[in-house]
Structure 1
Amino acid sequence: MNGGPSGFNNAPVTRIIVIASALFTVVFGIQGRSRNLPWSYQDIFKKLQIWKLIVTVFGFSSTPELVFGIYLLYYFRVFERQIGSNKYTVFILFSVITSLLLEVLAQWLLKDPSLNILTSGPYGLIFASFVPFFFDIPVSTRFRVFRFNFSDKTFIYLAGLQLFLSSWRRSMLPGICGILAGSLYRLNVFRVRRVKFPEVIASFFSRLSWPSTGTTSPTRSSRNVLGSAPTYASRRAEANAPALLSTLLEPPEESIGTLVSMGFDRNSARQALIHARNDINAATNILLESQGH
């Protein structure tokens, strides 16, 4: 199970999150400051260490956490492809902010010395993503090992469990708060699932990201240099235009595979891509709207 085609095509926001997490973790690890990454609400509200809040949202406390965290963030790019970068940005902000508030509230209520310091990293986003992963991503293959039943989703759950238990209670609390944040988003609290950023703000992440490969520029239409009267070649081209257009709009297997990995029927995915002129985000919206009716 790979979450669709490899790379960050149609997932520029995920690319930024992955790069930021890797950079923050490596920079603080090289400087020997990774031990200072775990945080508490006293750091934010009493010491006003805002920098620490920003760093803890992205930077992991250890290399094993970074490995499993980056793997999960990379896999969950399937949700950005499914709902689009605009709404996925809303999902990220809602998950991170809500999980942080829940963590601070839990620290304040429990007053447990072992929970005074929590591990850092995008736990809120990662474990909030497990909610739509559980409900919306279907199982594509099943297999048995020593009489135990497994599926292709099992490896994602195992990676999440490893991250969840990486620092015991210090990582379990952020994980639980992330799951609660994802559940609140799924329940559409405050109608958050309808929120969208203005296109100017949403395109900011696309400008930060590297351009996707595999895109082709539209061909320029040829002019009749002899005048306005159509030539025989131009009349023949116009007659063959519908067949040519159908050939050009035939969806690539990579795009169909992306939609199939999201749980859509192959034929429906192909038809949606044709109607959307091979725009995978528009095709996803068409499929989601058809399921809602």
Structure 2
Amino acid sequence: MNGGPSGFNNAPVTRTIIIASALFTILFGIRGRSGNIGWSYQDIFKKLQIWKLIVSVFAFLSTPELVFGIYLLYYFRVFERQIGSNKYSVFILFSVFAALLLEVLALKLLKDPSLTVQTSGPYGLIFSSFIPFYFDIPVSTRFRVFSLHFSDKTFIYLAGLQLLLSSWKKSLFPGICGILAGSLYRLNVLHVRRIKFPEFITSFFSRLSWPFMGSTSPTAPARNIPGSTPFHAGRQVEGNYPASLSSTIEPPEDSVATLVSMGFERNSARQALIHARNDINAATNILLESQSH
């Protein structure tokens, strides 16, 4: 389970967020200020240290948090590929601002001394991403260790749990607020899922060149399939994939069954697998993107 093709193809916004997180974390770590970038209610509303709030969106407090955080951000690039960079930018801003707002309100109401200073890092974005991960990403592999049952999704959950508990209450609290923010986005509060930015904003990220991180593919995303039309879970609207795909090797029956068990119509699942060259994760992305239209 790798979130689709390797690298940052069709995920320029994710690439920018990861680079910014790494640079901010390293910069403040080198300057010996990593312990001072956690923000508190007093810092923002009494001392007006807004820079702490801005830095907290990107910089992690420690190297272990950075490693697990970047790993999760890199995996969750699958969502940018599903809905496109424009809508994913909306998801990022909504998640970050909603999570921060929930944190500020909760800190004001709870007045818990142990929560005076919050940890730093893109916790709102990371943990809001667990909502679509839970609902929209299928299990493609299951296995047992002794008498315990696991799946390929287990490793993502374990990485998230490690990050969530990295600073105990100081990281648990923003993580929970991130999960709530992701839930609000999924519920389409204020019709946020309909919002789109002007194209020049998201195209800015596409024009950024980071040779050492890999380049964005100039081709159209796999979700824009010539000759295909949207279909919803359980029923196909109309239209088929290009006829030339019919000569491709027939998808494995267990892969088709996995997609059907998620509620997709059998023929649609088969066609998506053919187009994705029997990659079940890529096929799921195609089906989920079709649902979003």
Q: 1:266 to 1:79 in 2, by over 3 A?
A: farther
Gaps of 5+ in 1: 217-244, 252-260, 274-280
How many residue pairs align between the two structures? 248
Identity of aligned residues (%): 77
Shift of 1:268: 2.3
Q: Deviations over 1:156-179 (max 9, x none)?
A: 000000000000000000000000
Q: 1:288 to 1:151 in 2, by over 3 A?
A: closer
1:56 and 2:56 matched: yes
Aligned equivalents of 2:32 and 2:109: distance in 1? Answer: 32
Q: Deviations over 1:67-100 (max 9, x none)?
A: 1000000000000000000000000000000000
Aligned equivalents of 2:114 and 2:289: distance in 1? Answer: 47
Partner of residue 271, structure 2: 267
Aligned equivalents of 1:39 and 1:53: distance in 2? Answer: 6
Partner of residue 174, structure 2: 174
Partner of residue 212, structure 1: 215
Task: Spell out the pairing of 1:150-161 with structure 2 (5 A cutoff).
Answer: 150-161=150-161
Shift of 1:117: 0.4
Q: Which amino acid aligns with 2:93?
A: L
Partner of residue 257, structure 1: none
Shift of 1:212: 3.0
Partner of residue 46, structure 2: 46
Q: Which amino acid aligns with 1:169?
A: K
| Paired residue secondary structure (2:57) | helix
Q: 1:291 to 1:23 in 2, by over 3 A?
A: closer
| Paired residue secondary structure (1:170) | helix
Aligned equivalents of 1:136 and 1:38: distance in 2? Answer: 33
Aligned equivalents of 2:63 and 2:287: distance in 1? Answer: 39
Q: 1:289 to 1:161 in 2, by over 3 A?
A: closer
Task: Spell out the pairing of 1:27-38 with structure 2 (5 A cutoff).
Answer: 27-38=27-38
Shift of 1:215: 4.9
| Paired residue secondary structure (1:143) | strand
Gaps of 5+ in 2: 220-241, 249-257
Partner of residue 109, structure 2: 109
Partner of residue 12, structure 1: 12
Aligned equivalents of 2:77 and 2:32: distance in 1? Answer: 31
Task: Spell out the pairing of 1:78-93 with structure 2 (5 A cutoff).
Answer: 78-93=78-93
Partner of residue 189, structure 1: 189
| Paired residue secondary structure (1:84) | helix
Q: Which amino acid aligns with 1:131?
A: I
* Alpha carbons 1:25, 1:60 under 8 Å: kept: yes
Shift of 1:287: 4.0
Q: CA RMSD in A?
A: 3.0
Shift of 1:53: 1.2
Partner of residue 73, structure 1: 73
| Paired residue secondary structure (1:2) | coil
Q: 1:213 to 1:100 in 2, by over 3 A?
A: closer
Q: Deviations over 1:106-160 (max 9, x none)?
A: 1111101100101000000000000000000000000000110000000000000
Partner of residue 201, structure 1: 201
User: Bigger radius of gyration, 1 or 2?
Assistant: 1
* Alpha carbons 2:165, 2:171 under 8 Å: kept: yes
105-114 or 41-50: bigger deviation = 41-50
1:120 and 2:120 matched: yes
Q: Which amino acid aligns with 2:185?
A: Y
Q: Which amino acid aligns with 1:208?
A: L
